[in-house]
Amino acid sequence: MAEAAAKFAASAVEKEFDEIKEWSDEEHQRYLDSLGDAEEHPLFRDVSEDEASDFGEAMRAADVADDEDALQQATKRKDRGNAAFKKGPDFFGNALRHYKDAIGLLKSVEEDTGVQGPSVTLASVVHANIAAVYMKRRVWHRAIGAAEESLRLNPGNAKASFRLATCFLELARFDRAAGACRAALAAEGGAGSAALAGLLAKAEEGTARSARRRAAVDARRREREGLVAAAREACRARGIRIGRPMLRDMARTSDTLPSVDADGVMQWPVTLLFPAKAMSELVQSCPETASMGDLVATLLPATRGAAPPAPWDPEAAYSADAVTVLYRANETPEVDASLLWAEQLGEDADDDDLSKPAAPPLEASRPWIIVPPSAPLALVLMQPDCVLPGMPALYVVPAGSEAEAALRRESGGTLRTLRVPELPSM
């Protein structure tokens, strides 16, 4: 019984091959005789992926007898591709294979005859279909290439124009999308489809929206350039020295900039660093007239227990009345004023530029200096030994703590306190 089943299966397979066979027996034999040493044939030896692909293409086209037959076979391949495409995503690979087989057959017709008639028209259709497959897969750059090739062969292919415009819309390349739509409408004498007209409207709206966005970005940039120019001039007038940022990544991404308000007061973003906790906090805008006590009170409780501590301070060791605020002298080399805050403007200021000091570096130590609670921010910024690391940075430690003792040891055993000038009595 098993033998009968095997014979039946073999007969069925032979019948199927007979139905699809297009070579005569003599042609098959001539082909087999031409193979020579079978071990060297690509079917039986190790070949590269490219070799296997080329041989596969040759095998699929081998049953073409003449150019007319090639055109018919290309049409069949195109139809098979269409059928596979309609079956859904699982068959998109098959569709592409059939379409590419059709393209290979059509190229052979052009090479043999030099005639660019029906084969070119069909090739344009097939390339447009390839674009449709890649669009379904959302591989936009390949879909664009296929649609453009379709239009090169037949500029009047409306489907190719529609697909090309759709791809450009998906990539937000609105000018190119509008151009594809207009070219298609012109090729059709202005009587294009409603779908093309709808795409053109979307592309034009996208173009207008992009123009508005660019205008807003340009206006914002001009505003920021004005802020930076005013801040650079204010720093020059006050003798404020600014150097290389401590954290390059923060300098590049921060949106904060110093500014000068209507009363001529500088507003600064200030970083408070808590070295004992390896933490930092940013005060977005602090007037230069604010005292250290006021500045610290924006982040810490006025006294211990007066308010919940910061999340990073479970011991409640930090309160405005029980901390020491310090800055470090000569913290960073000064840089040229034209490079200040270049990152926030999107200007190219590389590390080499920022490492070049505006003046020879000071041959001085870098001691820690205590800033009293009553000292205004401006007093710190205008000290001759204060070089801001991009933006003001102040250090905060609990008064009398080991962290404060460590800074004292770094400064040679003593911590100098900044003197606050007394205001004249009225």
Overall number of domains in the chain:
2
Position 278 in a domain: yes
The pLDDT score that the predictor gives to residue 227 is 84
381 and 261 inside one domain? yes
377 and 254 inside one domain? yes
393 and 284 inside one domain? yes
Position 229 in a domain: no
Position 34 in a domain: no
Instruction: State the helix-helix crossing angle for 67-86 and 118-136, rounded to 10 degrees.
Output: 20
The pLDDT score that the predictor gives to residue 332 is 87
User: How far is 167 from 163, CA to CA, in rounded Å?
Assistant: 6
The CATH number given to whatever domain includes residue 91 is: 1.25.40.10
What's the domain range around 251?
241-417
With CA atoms as reference, report the closest residue to 370 among 318, 312, 337, 411: 411
Amino acid making up residue 30: R
The set of residues, in sequence order, having a beta carbon less than 8 Å from that of 62 and lying 6+ positions away, is 31
The CATH number given to whatever domain includes residue 278 is: 3.10.20.90
Position 285 in a domain: yes
143 and 271 inside one domain? no
Position 58 in a domain: no
Position 181 in a domain: yes
286 and 187 inside one domain? no
The pLDDT score that the predictor gives to residue 383 is 95
Overall pTM surpassing 0.75 (yes/no): no
CB 293, CB 376: distance < 8 Å: no
Tell me the CA distances in angstroms from 356 to 183, 248, 330, 366, one per residue in order.
54, 15, 15, 19
Domain boundary, last residue among 206, 223, 250 = 206
The pLDDT score that the predictor gives to residue 158 is 86
264 and 202 inside one domain? no
Position 19 in a domain: no
The set of residues, in sequence order, having a beta carbon less than 8 Å from that of 174 and lying 6+ positions away, is 168, 203, 204, 206, 207, 209, 210
Taken in order 304, 308, 310, 316, the sign of the CA dihedral is positive
134 and 258 inside one domain? no
157 and 262 inside one domain? no
Position 45 in a domain: no
With CA atoms as reference, report the closest residue to 243 among 157, 325, 356: 356
270 and 194 inside one domain? no
Domain boundary, last residue among 149, 181, 206 = 206
pLDDT, averaged in runs of 10, over the chain (426 residues): 59 53 53 46 43 48 58 92 94 94 85 64 95 96 95 90 93 93 77 78 93 92 86 91 70 66 93 94 94 94 89 93 95 78 56 46 73 96 92 94 94 93 64
Distance of CA 30 to the CA centre of its chain: 58
167 and 255 inside one domain? no
The pLDDT score that the predictor gives to residue 116 is 57
259 and 394 inside one domain? yes
Domain boundary, last residue among 206, 227, 249 = 206
Task: Provide the b/e sequence for 196-215 (b: ≥16 CB within 10 Å).
Answer: beebbebbbebbeeeeeeee
The pLDDT score that the predictor gives to residue 378 is 96
191 and 284 inside one domain? no
Tell me the CA distances in angstroms from 70 to 61, 135, 355, one per residue in order.
8, 28, 69
